[in-house]
Amino acid sequence: MLIASLSATLLAAVAGRSVKAAMLFGLGVLAAPASAQTGPPPAEVFVLATLYRRHASTPAYNHDTLRRLITGIRPDVVVLDVSPRELREEIVSAGKAEYTEVVFPLLREHGYRAYAGEPDEPEFSEIVGQLGRATTAFRTEHAGLAAADRAHDEATYAALAHLWRSAADVNGAVTDRLLAGRRAYQDAVAGAAVADAWQRWNEHTLAVIRRAVRENPGGRVLVLAGIENCAQLRPVLRNARDLRLIDIEALLRQRSP
């Protein structure tokens, strides 16, 4: 997530197949009708949210739950919310505890092919620096609006805390709508530079996802994305013609008793 990367930087400075009729998550999910094309079927893309520090305060979506979901999806490929350096070194900021506790151990255990969804240098520092400068200017020059923005953020997550009673809730349409509204609000009050930084970040992640799809035809691609980015990624992927975005909320609700 862009905000988490910005926070870490500032602190440092200061499936290859369609879903089978066999069981996925212990439930039957019917495969799509066979294509008339001779090539492999479109890659299946699953987008799962990560919560960073909020995993610890969200019992319905803690590290154990995230681990079960990842292994249940059985991905061929994973696109991760980390930079290339973080992926190589398996070292992330303290806020990304799900990576050290869950994701990196699963990479070693299952050998998933992994892509870093965040930019490499110098683009990483360019985008994070742009967001940092724009955010600082906004808070300095528009203190009243900045206070309202903080209040909006706190209210949004307070509402989500009451909503999140299951993994499906966290990854659901209501959550995405609330966080899309949160993004639209901040873009409107904080200005074009903030909005542009978020757009550049998400466009990079989408490009990595499309690359993973191209390089793994017919594969099952799992995208782990910060909760605030999911609301921006899913609508674009839903309309893509070269992949099949799995409705993760529907799948998780089928799985629930």
Q: pLDDT at position 6, please?
A: 53
What Å distances lie between residue 108 and 100, 103, 114, 115, 177, CA to CA?
11, 9, 11, 14, 35
In this prediction the pTM is: 0.84
pLDDT score of 189: 96
pLDDT at 11: 38
pLDDT of residue 35: 46
Cα-based distances in Å from 165 to 84, 171, 217, 229: 33, 11, 35, 20
Q: Are 219 and 79 in contact (CB under 8 A)?
A: no
pLDDT at 12: 42
- What local confidence, expressed as pLDDT, does residue 32 receive? 41
Residues of the chain with pLDDT under 50: 9-35, 257
CA nearest neighbour of 2 among 178, 201, 225: 201
* pLDDT score recorded for residue 40: 79
Q: Given this model, what pLDDT does residue 2 score? A: 65
Question: What is residue 10's predicted lDDT score, i.e. its pLDDT?
Answer: 38
Question: Domain map of the chain by residue range?
Answer: 2-9+41-255
Return the number of other C-beta atoms located less than 10 Å from residue 151's C-beta. Answer: 10
The pLDDT of residue 39 = 74
pLDDT number for residue 123: 97
Instruction: Identify residue 69 by its one-letter amino acid code.
Output: L
